[in-house]
Amino acid sequence: MSDSNSAPNAGARPRRPVAAVPLVGAGLAGWLALGLLVAGGRRPTPPDAAVESAALGLPHALLVAFTVPTEAPVAFAVLAVVAAVAAHGRRWSVVAVAVVAPAVTITANTWLSKPLFDRWYDDHLAYPSGHTVVLVTTLTVVALATAGTARAVVIVAGAGLTAAAAVGMAGLGYHYVTDVAGGAAFAVAVTTGLMAVLHPTVTALVSGARSPRRPARGR
């Protein structure tokens, strides 16, 4: 069953959509609020300083490992798998968002968000974190492409990966934790918005619709 042929079958269990508008709104609100808080700054906020202080006590190899999921080759490999599975199931809106979302979020973050807020870490614009945008865009695509328990697992695991990345980048001197939070909020908002445009119900699209349940005999 493809995106273009999505008429519901009689007896099929309806899939629960993601509340796209509140999610996009909350993400943009968080991105803007944090951005205004740190705009034009070059110094850490108290939470930034606390996380950085704690992270500096961790082994360097562990900090590096925490940042691996934020690397573009890793994220793009995951997105390629998602796109391939979606294409096999003829879920073209997922294929589209897996390709379009990282291009849009990375470009918009680099050329819009960073100059807009002008927050610096050493010699580079830092808010929102571009590596976080890469990671969370990927996680959001995977979450939107799944449903039920699988989606819950992706969300919980994604939150853990993002938190670990924040610690890793703080400890390695790449970003403040507020940069990571802003990048995550921005990526969730933009990716969810793109999926809502491409597929208005924003339901689980990779694995395909469940087979219709046959009605019990005698009913």
3-state helix, strand, coil in the chain (%, to 5): 65, 0, 30
151 found inside a domain: yes
214 found inside a domain: no
210 found inside a domain: no
1 found inside a domain: no
Q: What is the domain range of residue 78? A: 20-198
* Phi/psi at 137 (5° precision): -60, -45
15 found inside a domain: no
Residues 117 and 39 sit within 8 Å (Cβ to Cβ) = yes
| pLDDT value of residue 2 | 54
d(CA 186, CA 127) in angstroms, rounded, equals: 10
Q: Burial code of 57-70, b = ≥16 C-beta within 10 A, e = fewer?
A: eeeeeebeebbebb
Nearest to 98 by CA among 167, 146, 165, 166: 146
* Strand-pair partners of 121: 124
| pLDDT value of residue 216 | 42
| pLDDT value of residue 217 | 43
The pTM assigned to this predicted structure is 0.84
119 found inside a domain: yes
Nearest to 71 by CA among 130, 158, 141, 154: 130
| pLDDT value of residue 210 | 44
| pLDDT value of residue 10 | 40
Q: Specify the residue for token string 């562990």.
A: 62
109 found inside a domain: yes
| pLDDT per residue rounded down to tens, the chain (219 residues) | 455 444 444 444 444 456 788 999 999 999 999 999 999 999 999 999 999 999 999 999 999 999 999 999 999 999 999 999 999 999 999 999 999 999 999 999 999 999 999 999 999 999 999 999 999 999 999 999 998 999 999 999 999 999 999 999 999 999 999 999 999 999 999 999 999 888 765 544 444 444 344 444 444
DSSP 68-112: GGGSHHHHHHHHHHHHHHHHHTT-HHHHHHHHHHHHHHHHHIIII
Structural domain count, the chain = 1
Q: Specify the residue for token string 């360097």.
A: 60
209 found inside a domain: no
